[in-house]
Amino acid sequence: MGLKRFDVYFDNPDATYYGGQTVSGRLFLHLDATKRIRGIEVRVRGEGEVRWTETRQIREDGKMRPSHEYFRGHEQYFDNKYYVLGGTGSDIMLQPGDHCYPFSIVLPDTLPCSYEGRFGHIRYIVKAILERPWKHHHDAKAAFTVINHFDLNIDPKLKDPFVLSREKWLGWCCCRSGPLGLSLRGSTTGVVPGQNLPVTVEMENSTRQMVNRIFIEMAQVVTFHANEGGNVKIRVDKVQVAALELGALEPRAHRIWDQKFNIPTIPPSNLGNCKIIKIEYTLSARAELYSARRDVVVSTPIMVGTVPLKQFWPILSPIPLTPQPVKIADELEIQPVPTETPSPYPELPPPFYEECSQGSHNIRDPNDSEYTRGCLDFMPHYPTYNFDQ
């Protein structure tokens, strides 16, 4: 067989970094036989991409057939590569056993935040390529997260409370029942992951109809911009990222719910330095009746940041973390280097870094081969704060 293991490890156990920081780690190989190679190259790159297909029916020769139109947008933020071994033109004989090679790269200062979505991504990759003469190369890859700071304190309006209300009448003019009234109140429109946002929902049901379901919902609205090949197109994808069920309401009834809405671990509203992907969030209260056309909805934009508003700092608590060494072989382990969170506020307790609540995405791309190794399912990590309950 020859090559039994080929892996990329990061010194930072969260594999999470900010612009200007150093990404460092180890390439680990295990051989069970001598192997002739040309060298081992490390490639570190960051790029954004959007891609989707739209299908429509067209008439051709008197018959209808599907026509596919492809849309794509791409941005490259950096692409660095160098050899950690070889690359001089002469072959190298690697002996059986374990081999470990360090790598490091300093990130550019201004980078957009990592994001993985249905129609696009902002992705940062380390790929190691073991080059062999006259044979297919072996490669291993791993993704890491880059965070772009979004300080909510730069916009004073985000600390203001909000009040939303709507009234809807059911039936026709001659036989109207009473109105449905729905309101949503909250303490702020600027939040961070981990925060419990105090909200109040009030429902007045003066009708003869049952309100089947009342809930609060946070939605992520992502706009993808395709701009290549002469096809300029925008696609919007809206997904629910969190919901809180409140219950139902009988006819001729009134109720108030005081709740705390937990903000999940999600990317910030401002990805920064990216023209092809835009993220926005909304917070809504919805009352569902027997027909969706009769639903009552109130909604407000909400901003998700990486630095919380100062008014909430007194209820923040640091989480004591003791990262453990990562053992990658019998006599080889990596001493963890935790994420350094750059902050202009020394008194702010640092966040911890948690996997995105929206699940993993496969990071295989057209440049990979059947021989590509590594964990190809990736979830970005985002700063999350520990709020006292």
pTM: 0.92
At position 124, the amino acid (one-letter code) is Y
Mean pLDDT (the chain) is 91
Q: Do domains 3-149+317-382 and 152-312 have the same CATH topology?
A: yes
pLDDT for 355 beyond 60: yes
Q: Which residue has the higher pLDDT, 69 or 197?
A: 197
> Cα(160)–Cα(337) distance, rounded to whole angstroms?
38
- Three-state DSSP class for residue 293: helix
The more confident residue out of 190 and 290 is: 190
- Give just the sign of the alpha carbon dihedral 221, 222, 226, 227: positive
Residue 323 is predicted with a pLDDT of: 67
- Mean pLDDT (whole number) for 264-290: 95
pLDDT tens figures, 41-98: 999 999 999 999 988 777 777 777 787 888 999 999 999 999 999 987 788 999 999 9
Domain 152-312, CATH 2.60.40.640 — does that match?
yes
The closest of 103, 86, 140 to 26, measured between CA atoms, is 103
pLDDT over 60 at 118, yes or no: yes
Give the span between the Cα atoms of 141 and 304, in whole angstroms.
30
pLDDT of 89 reads 79
Taking the domains of the chain in order of start, what are their residue ranges? 3-149+317-382, 152-312
Residue 98: DSSP 8-state? E
Give the pLDDT confidence score for residue 330 in this predicted structure: 63
pLDDT at 335 over 70: yes
* Whole-number Å distance between alpha carbons of 57 and 73: 24
pLDDT score for 74: 95
- The pLDDT tens digits for 344-353 are 888 899 999 9
Locus of tokens 């979004």:
150
CATH architecture group of domain 3-149+317-382? Sandwich (2.60)
Give a three-class secondary structure readout of 280-292. Answer: EEEEEEEEECCCH
CA 353 to chain centre: 12
For residue 346, the model assigns a pLDDT of: 87
Q: What is the pLDDT of residue 173?
A: 54
pLDDT at 154: 95
What pLDDT, in 10s, does the model give residues 218-233? 999 999 999 877 667 9
Q: What is the pLDDT of residues 1-27, one digit of tens each?
A: 578 999 999 999 999 999 999 999 999
pLDDT at residue 376 greater than cutoff 60? yes
Percent of the chain that is helix, strand, coil (3-state, to 5): 5, 60, 40
Stretch 141-160: mean pLDDT, rounded? 96
Q: CA-CA distances (angstroms) from residue 308 to 145, 200, 287?
A: 20, 21, 30
For position 183, what pLDDT does the model report? 98
Least trusted range by pLDDT, from 236-245, 324-333, 370-379: 324-333
- pLDDT: which is higher, 320 or 270: 270
pLDDT at residue 320 is higher than 70: no
**pLDDT value for 337:** 80
Angstrom CA distances, 323 to 193, 299, 334, 335, 378, stand at 22, 41, 11, 9, 20
The amino acid at residue 99 is H
Q: CA-to-CA distance for 360 and 256, rounded, in angstroms?
A: 37
Measured distance CA(129)–CA(332) in Å, rounded: 22
What per-residue confidence (pLDDT) applies to 334?
73
pLDDT at position 184: 98
Backbone angles phi, psi at 133, to 5 degrees: -70, 130
